Structure 1
Amino acid sequence: MSVSLCLFTADLRLHDNPVLAAAVRDSEQVVPLFVVDDGVRAAGFDVPNRRAFLADCLADLDAGLRQRGGRLVVRCGPVVREVCALAAETGAQQVHVAAGSSAYARRREERLAAALTAQGCDLRVHEAVATVVAPGAHVPQDGDHFAVFTPYFRRWQGAAIRGLAPVPRRIDVPAGVASAPLPERTAVAGVSPGLGNGGEREARSRLAAWLPDGLIHYADHQAELAADATSRLSAHLHFGSLSATELVHRARAMDGAGADAFVRQLAWRDFHHQVLAARPRSASVDYRPRQDRWRRAEREVQAWRDGRTGYPVIDAAMRQLRYEGWLPGRARLLAASFLTKTLYLDWRTGARHFLDLLVDGDVANNQLNWQWAAGTGTDTRPNRVLNPVVQAKRHDPHGAYVRRWVPELSALDGPAIHEPWKLPAPERARFDYPHPLVQLADGLRRFQRARSRG
């Protein structure tokens, strides 16, 4: 009887999973496998919020497989060792896996292919599972990837995307295959108190609730900090409990400005994956070096991490990040611009803090968005500086977002909520809130001088 392994990575779902669909189609029996990867832990990406969300995803995936006669097999250790051992144990002829775009994922695929070939087993790597368009599917005439989003987006919009893979009706797992226990969310310490639930059922429920009204108004409200109008699906896309390709199909079917804006955000996600695939070192090295001599100021870094910078919208963002393990895109951009350009501190410091907390933190989008904000990435205006007060008045005009996350300022109204330092001294003394770390004009001059030297 023919056997295949379906190695789940960032595709923890049954709906529109080409990896699982191909394994079921090509073999009489399938072993759905997830390996708790020692390499991920060693690289520093195994943090509490993502570990807890992953536990939810695996439990839900196992439940869905059991409804179809199967189950999830969990093994712990180096991926190549565990996959090869299970392939030998079950006599599997093929291993199916989704293609990755990070350097780590690509090295893993290369080592896995070599080891499986040596024992007479084939590795089938499926493209466009985690992304809508595979990272290397479209390249400019003069290079191996697009370095600017707009021309990439034009090509991306015209690309034919694959149809949705069918959900298997039944999955027959060979008898006697041993499994480690499923990870449990309750066993994870240090999880953000407001972290959302993971898993495909949660993802599809959230999508169904948001899509009818949220997509229609997305273009108008996505940047409004207090509106909480984004889809909050980014963590599900990161873990693959929801398919980006399915989202594009469904958004395009609805049409309209909101759908167009939402699809554009999914294209940005693909854009970063294709940059990382072509330039793996951009995870830690400036994509476009600016000869920055970043300041060292641990006290300021810690104040930024703690949400005590003296700029309410920045502090609100940093406190939401710690409490929820998630941030809307506008808040991420403001926090990153403030650290890198107003304080002139290394983007890698901020990117590491985000990766420590963000449930959707991945190498491609986190690192390259940070570089974009710092002006060392793909931004065509690398020296733009976002003024946090101007941005707060534009995207949180009534101060509702600030009051939600900076309760010591909740009694303030009007312009004072965004500029409490302008209050008379006796009134300021009533609030346990710090003075700004730096005056915005001073920070701007410092940044401009530094970049002009470069």
Structure 2
Amino acid sequence: MEKTAVVLFTRDLRVHDHPALAAACEHADRVVPLFVLDDAILGGRNAAPNRAAFLARALADLREQLRQRGGNLVLRRGDVVEETMAVVAETGATALVCSADVSGYAQRREQRLADGCAGRGVRFRAHPGVTVVPPGALAPAGGDHYRVFTPYWRAWDAVEWRDQHAAPPTIPGAGGALDRIGRLPAVTDLSDGDSSPDLPDGGETAGRAVLEAAVRRAGDGEPDLDDLAGDRTSRLSPYLHFGCVSPLEVANRLAGCAPEQVRQLAWRDFHHQVTAAVPSVAAKDYRRRDVEWRDDADALRAWQEGRTGVPIVDAGMRQLLREGWMHNRARLVTASFLTKNLRVDWRAGAAHFFRWLVDGDVANNAGNWQWVAGTGNDTRPNRVLNPLRQAKRFDPDGAYVRRYVPELRDVEGAAVHTPWTLPDDRRRGLDYPDPLVDL
């Protein structure tokens, strides 16, 4: 038995199916759960007020979950490795555990933790838990990761998943091992930027309620996930990003009733295993493509603000600003419009998404943007999603557009998708711009 184990929480803010926490509770006399507010993530170009607001709620919920089981959440702020090793020293811990992650930053952080522990004679282990199947567990012959989704999906679907862990009934308390526990941060402690007005509640309690709702809906028959106005997607992505729900538990719960949603989890794992093997994919083309991006600040700003004059695009972009979330079909349409119609560099679009999305995830965000732009994995470089065809197929009566573009709420039926075809006097009264480009 270890005397004291520190559990470093990062992107795994839950007690259910948390392999690192479960291992610590099984093998240690005392468990010290720890979260370090990392200014390298919270500030600068990584600043994301929506995720900061969600994080504040998630940390409060995690502390409550731990307290209900006899533990507590220690909070620190600063360099994650330095603060963690200070807690290890203060508690006399003989073990440090965390969940393995895939970004270049996370991999460097884990290596620094491993080095710090090795120098102090402390056992260190990074457990699975951020994905269903750990990155690196599946690899083609002669390679370190899959580059095409279909063979990855076949391997992913066939492999035996790890056992799911129950939430520990008790957390062996650290007692007086620490003089300072640390107060929960307010949103203003984490970000001074404005957040979206209609954000989801953060935390494991809210995430498990969203999961239960998704399972109930799937029990009535798998919904049409591409129906923009119907909004039948699970809305689990923010909780998956922060680890408020376990991706393995989600996969297990949906496996028998929602196969398409399980396949989406495989796509998530696919992007994570690519990023684990090639961390530079977050900012550099995975595949070189001879394309000259346009430097058009006005067009980019119009796209960001939902003023392109293409209603289906503007609806998606305004949903993002209002909710910190966007329907997956709308993400594809808006990304295609920026990169294929406006010919603006995918990195500019990815940065805007990363700024606003509550589920903003290095692996998924870059992977999906590169897939649309034609520079990523398993992509068709010349594929263009025509926004008008997409609108007529996935928002046929225009309800999604009218929900997010109030200037067009009085335009009836499918005409809402092509307001430039309305009579001149009607069009002038809409206070809505003409399209930036011909479609």
Q: What's the TM-score, normalizing by structure 2?
A: 0.96
1:180 alignment partner, one of 149, 157, 182:
182
CA deviation after TM superposition for structure 1 residue 234, in Å: 0.2
Q: Distance in 2 between matches of 1:116 and 1:107?
A: 14
CA distance in 1, matches of 2:269, 2:123: 28
Whole-angstrom distance in 2 between the partners of 1:407 and 1:369:
29
On the 8 A contact 1:214/1:231 being kept in 2, the answer is: no
Q: Distance in 2 between matches of 1:51 and 1:414?
A: 39
The answer to whether the Cα contact below 8 Å between 2:286 and 2:375 also exists between their aligned partners in 1 is yes
Contact kept, 8 Å, 2:374 with 2:382, in 1: the verdict is yes
Written as runs of structure 1 = structure 2, the 5 A alignment for 1:425-436 is: 425-436=424-435
Distance in 1, matches of 2:206 and 2:117, equals 35
Partner SS, residue 196 of structure 1? coil
Distance in 2, Cα, partners of 1:431 & 1:46: 35
Name the CA distance, whole Å, in 2 between partners of 1:133 and 1:268. Answer: 11
Q: Does the alignment pair 1:417 with 2:412?
A: no
Alignment correspondent of 2:123: 122
Q: Alpha-carbon deviation of 1:215? A: 5.7
1:281 counterpart = 2:285 = no
- Gaps in structure 1 of 5+ consecutive residues: 441-454
Partner in structure 2 of residue 204 of structure 1: 208
Structure-1 residue corresponding to 2:231: 228
Q: Does 2:249 correspond to 1:246?
A: yes
1:360-404, CA deviations, whole angstroms, 9 ceiling, x for partnerless residues?
A: 001000011000111111133221000101100000001000000
The letter of the residue matching 2:396 is P
Once the 2 structures are TM-superposed, how far is the Cα of residue 97 of structure 1 from its aligned partner?
A: 0.5
1:43 CA displacement: 6.1
- The offset of 1:131, in angstroms, is 0.1
> For residues 161 and 52 of structure 2, what CA distance do their matches in structure 1 show?
31
Equivalent residue, structure 2, for 1:22 = 23
196 and 42 in structure 1: CA distance in 2 versus 1, 3 angstrom threshold:
closer
The gaps in structure 2 that reach 5 residues or longer are none
Give 2:36's aligned residue: 35
Q: Deviations over 1:202-248 (max 9, x none)?
A: 01111112311246543x41000000100000000000000000011
Counterpart AA for 1:179: I
How do 1:380-391 residues align onto structure 2 when only pairs under 5 Å count?
Answer: 380-391=379-390
8 Å contact kept, 2:40–2:46: no
- Partner in structure 2 of residue 373 of structure 1: 372
Could you say which residue in structure 1 is the equivalent of 2:135?
Answer: 135
Task: Tell me what 2:309 maps to.
Answer: 310
How many angstroms apart in 2 are the aligned matches of 1:216 and 1:383?
A: 38
SS at match of 1:35: strand
Question: In 2, distance between residues paired with 1:35 and 1:284?
Answer: 26
Aligned partner of residue 28 in structure 1, secondary structure: strand
Task: Name the amino acid aligned to 1:425.
Answer: D
Q: 1:407 aligns to what?
A: 406
Cα distance in 2, alignment partners of residues 214 and 341 from structure 1:
35
**Correspondence 1:53-72 to 2 at 5 A:** 53-72=54-73
Partner AA of 1:40 in structure 2: I
Deviation sequence 1:236-284 (CA, Å, 0-9, x none): 00000000000111112xx24xx11010000000000001111111100
Q: Following superposition, which runs of at least 4 residues in structure 1 exceed 6 angstroms of deviation? A: none
Q: What SS does the aligned partner of 2:140 have?
A: coil
- CA drift of 1:42 comes to 5.0
SS at match of 1:5: strand
| Post-superposition CA distance 1:118-142 (Å, at most 9, x none) | 1111111112x00000110011113
Q: Deviations over 1:167-202 (max 9, x none)?
A: 111113323311221112366541100011100000
Deviates more, 1:237-246 or 1:134-143: 134-143
Q: Tell me, in whole angstroms, the C-alpha distance in 2 between the residues paired with 1:33 and 1:435.
A: 52
Say yes or no: does 1:338 pair with 2:340.
no
State the match for 1:8 in structure 2.
9
